[in-house]
Amino acid sequence: NAGVTQTPKFQVLKTGQSMTLQCAQDMNHNSMYWYRQDPGMGLRLIYYSASEGTTDKGEVPNGYNVSRLNKREFSLRLESAAPSQTSVYFCASSGHPPGTDTQYFGPGTRLTVL
Amino acid sequence: AQKITQTQPGMFVQEKEAVTLDCTYDTSDPSYGLFWYKQPSSGEMIFLIYQGSYDQQNATEGRYSLNFQKARKSANLVISASQLGDSAMYFCAMREGPRDSSYKLIFGSGTRLLVRP
């Protein structure tokens, strides 16, 4: 059981370039999330997918798009990267098991936009 | 107004002693959940403990316990018998709304804990 995996671990982009961050979970969870963490701050929700086939905006969606490819995979796309998008990106998933709806996180992707 | 407030940016504790990390929250929803996560220097987010708003008892998980004071809207994390490996950032987070229809976690800004040998 790998849990939540993310690729790549590190990425450097130039302003205006595009890229897709990949996330996959093997816990059969229904819901998946993308967060960003800026230095010295907590995580902020970018987008989430409550279930396969649905996506919704979080707190900071501007400049991003997402795709829930199937139940396992949820990708985050930056169409035209900006320096303000330099951050650490975390993917998470949750499955409403009996008791709690705990979100489990991937290891993160550290993105730098020059 | 901030939904989750962690007022201690940094704290020290002596190894083997107990430490309390503060968290206050703000919500008018009667159904909510409170979470604590640990983020070591390696960067991953590790789930520690959960408390539901309707739970009668304070949550406990090994050396972690959650001091839940609903009227004061506080959910402090207590770590007993601190270990050097407890040195990390600790984040309090809240889910507003029932767990089967609410999906967003709101995070505090975190508390950095340093355990001294």
Question: For an interface test with A, which of B31, B37, B45 has the most A Cβ atoms less than 10 Å from its Cβ?
Answer: B45
Q: Which residues of B94-115 are buried (b: 16+ CB within 10 A; e: fewer)?
A: bbbebbeebbbbbbbbbbbbeb
| Average pLDDT score over residue span B86-101 | 87
Q: What is the DSSP letter of A99?
A: S
- Of the partner residues A42, A88, A101, the one whose CB lies closest to the CB of residue B33: A101
For residue A106, the chain B residue with the least C-alpha distance is B44
Cβ-Cβ contacts under 8 Å, A42 against chain B: 4, 91, 93, 107-110
Cβ-Cβ contacts under 8 Å, B110 against chain A: 40-42
B7-26 pLDDT, tens digit per residue, is 999 999 999 999 999 999 99
Beta-ladder partners of B107: B93
Q: Minimum mean pLDDT among A92-96, B39-43, B98-102: which range?
A: B98-102
A76 phi and psi angles, rounded to 5 deg: -120, 125
Kindly compute the dihedral angle of the four CA atoms of residues B49, A92, A68, A11, in this order, to the nearest 10 degrees.
Answer: 170
To the nearest whole angstrom, how far is the Cα of B115 from the nearest Cα of chain A? 19
* Maximum Cα interatomic distance, chain B, rounded to a whole number of Å: 45
Cα gap B109→B117, rounded to integer Å: 26
Please report, in tens digits, the pLDDT of each residue of chain A (114 residues total): 779 999 999 999 999 999 999 999 998 888 899 999 998 888 999 999 988 889 999 999 999 999 998 999 999 999 999 999 999 999 999 986 544 678 999 999 999 999
Cα gap B5→B22, rounded to integer Å: 8
Chains A, B: CB contacts within 8 A come to: 62
Q: How many beta carbons lie within 10 A of that of residue B64, not counting itself?
A: 16
Cα gap B47→A3, rounded to integer Å: 13
Question: Mean of the per-residue pLDDT values for chain B?
Answer: 93
Q: How many beta carbons lie within 10 A of that of residue A66, not counting itself?
A: 24
Residues 6+ apart with CB under 8 A from A51: A30, A31
Q: What is the DSSP letter of B18?
A: -
- Of the partner residues A101, A107, A110, the one whose CB lies closest to the CB of residue B95: A101
Cα distance from N-terminal residue to C-terminal residue, chain A: 36
> Which DSSP string corresponds to B28-86?
--S-EEEEEEEE-TT---EEEEEEETT-SSPPEETTEEEEEETTTTEEEEEE-S--GGG
As given in the structure block, the two tokens for residue A62 are: 């501007």
- Of the partner residues B46, B99, B104, the one whose CB lies closest to the CB of residue A96: B99
